[in-house]
């Protein structure tokens, strides 16, 4: 089963694509706390990228508290814990939402359409994580 895929030539750096896909797999319930991630070299070979790219992504995920590095087990999905204050969590999400809203409005979507799109995606993640 292929968990991750990258898009070479995308505006999104490869390491960021890996980070986003790990986070997405966790949000959708395809990865749970304690699940192992592919080894750095294994994932690099599967995605045909430099192993430093995967190592950079995994290191960022460790810093963010999303995964843990365990001696002899490699990288595993961490148990959910709050490593940021509520204020910091809001700041981080706002930093992601604001460009989304700006882009959507620029593309001609109404605020209602943006809310509908976000709600549809939230519902998909919620449904995916339950089943």
Q: What percent of the chain has pLDDT over 70?
A: 92
Cβ atoms of 16 and 56 closer than 8 Å: no
Same domain for 24 and 66 = yes
Domain extent, residue 115, equals: 86-130
Rounded to two decimals, the pTM is 0.71
Same domain for 93 and 73 = no
Distance, CA of 99 to CA of 60 (rounded, Å): 22
Same domain for 72 and 32 = yes
Cβ atoms of 17 and 53 closer than 8 Å: no
Same domain for 40 and 65 = yes
Would you say residue 3 lies in a domain?
Answer: no
Would you say residue 7 lies in a domain?
Answer: no
Domain count, the chain: 2
In this predicted model, what pLDDT tens digit does every residue of 27-57 receive, in sequence order?
888 899 999 999 999 999 999 999 999 999 9
Closest to 13 (Cα-Cα) out of 64, 62, 61, 49 = 49
Q: How far is CA 8 from the centre of its chain?
A: 17
Of 8-17, 23-32, 71-80, 83-92, the one with minimum mean pLDDT is 83-92
Tell me the CATH number at 66. Answer: 1.10.10.10
């Amino acid at each position: 089963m292929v968990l991750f895929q990258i898009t070479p030539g995308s505006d999104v750096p490869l390491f960021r694509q890996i980070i986003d896909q790990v986070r997405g797999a966790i949000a959708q319930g395809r990865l749970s706390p304690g699940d192992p991630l592919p080894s750095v070299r294994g994932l690099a070979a599967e995605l045909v990228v430099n192993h430093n790219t995967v190592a950079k992504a995994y290191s960022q995920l460790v810093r963010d508290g999303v995964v843990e590095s365990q001696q002899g087990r490699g990288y595993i999905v961490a148990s959910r814990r709050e490593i940021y204050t509520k204020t910091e969590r809001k700041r981080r999400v706002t930093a992601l939402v604001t460009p989304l809203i700006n882009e959507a409005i620029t593309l001609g979507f109404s605020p209602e359409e943006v809310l509908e799109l976000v709600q549809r995606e939230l519902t998909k993640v919620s449904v995916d994580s339950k089943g």
